[in-house]
Amino acid sequence: MKDFSKRLLPFVLAALIFPRSFECATAARVGSYYQENPAREALGAAYNAYRSADWPSAVMLFRRALSDPQNESDSALYMLIMAGMNSKSYKAAYADMAYFLQSYPDSEYAPLIKYQQGRSLFFMGEFDKAVLALSDFCHEHPESEMYASALFWIAESFYTGYNFEQARPLYERIVDDFPKDAKAIEAKYRLDAIKQRLREEKLLYLLQQTGESYLSSKENYEKALRRYELESAMGVTARAETSDGAAQVDGNESGQEDAKKDGAKKELVRREIVETPSGSAADYSFIDALARLKKSAAEAQGLLDDEGGAK
């Protein structure tokens, strides 16, 4: 007791002799003991911003808080990553994920971080890498609650790259195996969109084939028409030159002979038009060819409609 009194005596004397100085020193010690450091304050503010879905503020505050190693934890770092994903800061979030997996490989959040890695790659346009990362996640965590979502983003990577045949079975699996998952509705929408795209591609192909046949018929028609006109002009010139030095022949007989020649030429033109390179019959009339094109397009659409109704 005496020893304690001896240690306390200098403080009592200092308080009596210098009361103002002693008060200030004590206040400073108490203030420094109870006042939180800026990083600790930022951590509490970051939690509040995260709860309020204020993602940009949450990212900024979490980074400020995690600048103090004492504040770092797997949960705080996970919330920083999710805030970054929600604020669409994918590149920075991806870097944070790599640090997370290196620092906390056995964390309960590690599987979710691997899933988010695949998503971030997708949103950065790295579709091939996203497929690989999400496929690894599905292989390593087949029982994860994010399994269906991982399948969805793999399918989205194929869909965005116009690989519809690869995307379709993945969407179908989500609808069939995970009908209650939130991604099932989006998968159904994508399947309808793929079906419509494939129908449009078939229709365009049929129209292209019909259009090529039409253009071929039109070209043959114009070529034969030009030939007929040229031969007719040459025939008129030849008859004019012959009539100057030839004897007068009976008008009726000459007319019948010219009619026979013209008929033979017309028959030649008709054959060239009808017998196209593809072997299909083409009408003599340009308008008929156009009508045939429209009819073929309508028949193609009808076949596609029947196919869609049967499914």
* Structure token pair of residue 72: 């770092």
For 252-276, what is each residue's pLDDT tens digit? 555 566 556 556 655 554 555 444 4
- What pLDDT sits at residue 71? 87
Res 108: pLDDT: 95
**pLDDT for residue 253:** 53
At 184-230, the pLDDT tens digits run: 999 999 999 998 887 877 777 777 666 555 555 556 656 665 665 56
Residue 147 CB partners (closer than 8 Å, separation 6+) = 138, 141, 178
Residues of the chain scoring pLDDT < 50: 1-36, 240, 245-251, 269, 273-284
Say what the pLDDT of residue 17 is: 45
* pLDDT at position 200: 77
